[in-house]
Amino acid sequence: MGSNLIDALFIFMLAAFIGFEVIRRISPLLHTPLMSLTNALDAIAVLGAIVLVGEHKSTFSAVLGVIAVVAATSNVVGGFLITDRMLKMFKTSRPTKP
């Protein structure tokens, strides 16, 4: 557990830095789709919920798990869908890409 914890902290630190560096470069133009995209990615929490339902260790945990899977899946599906819809609308007036 001890080394796992340290590993996990390192991963968190590195991912946070990558997040800062990558997201800092995103123009304000795309901030709304950015938020709906990160929201969909964040719904990866569905994995924890799926395991909870699949392992069925207790009725209580399975019921909470099912609700959690429903909530997160709606974010995955809705998030990707609306992000793509928004991005489709962004068009440039120049005929070709710069």
Partner 1 sequence: MTDFAGNQYIIEIVYLIASALFILSLRWMSSPSTARHGVRAGEIGMVLAIAGTLLHHGMEYKWIVIALVLGTGIGIPLGRVQMTAVPQRTALSHAFGALCVTLVGTAEFYLRSPNVPRFMMAVLAMEVILGSLTFTGSLMAAGKLQEILPQRPLTYKGQNFVNLGLLAVAVAIAVYLVQHPEGRQLFPFMIGIPLVFGVLMVVPIGGADMPTVISLLNSYAGLSAAAMGFVLDSKLLIIAGALDGSSGFILSVIMSKAMNRSFTNVLFGAFGQVQTSAAAGTEAKPVHSATAEEAAAILAAANQVVVVPGYGMAVAQAQHKVRELYDSLTKRGVIVRFAIHPVAGRMPGHMNVLLAEADIPYDKLLDMEDINGDFPQTDVALVIGANDVTNPAARTDTASPIYGMPILDVDKARTVMVIKRGMSPGFAGIDNPLYYLERTLMLFGDAKAFVNDIVRELGAGGHS
Residues 59-88 that bind partner 1 (CB under 8 A): 60-62, 64-88
Contact positions with partner 1 (CB under 8 A) in 35-64: 35-58, 60-62, 64
- Minimum Å gap between C-beta 78 and partner 1 is 3
Assess 95 for contact with partner 1 (CB under 8 A): no
Shortest Å distance, C-beta 71 to partner 1:
4
What's the rounded Cα separation, in Å, for the pair 34 and 25?
12
Q: What CA–CA distances, in Å, run from 49 to 55, 65, 76, 85? A: 10, 5, 13, 28
Q: Does 3 bind partner 1 (CB under 8 A)?
A: no
Does 89 contact partner 1 by CB under 8 A? yes
Cα separation, 51 vs 92, whole angstroms: 44
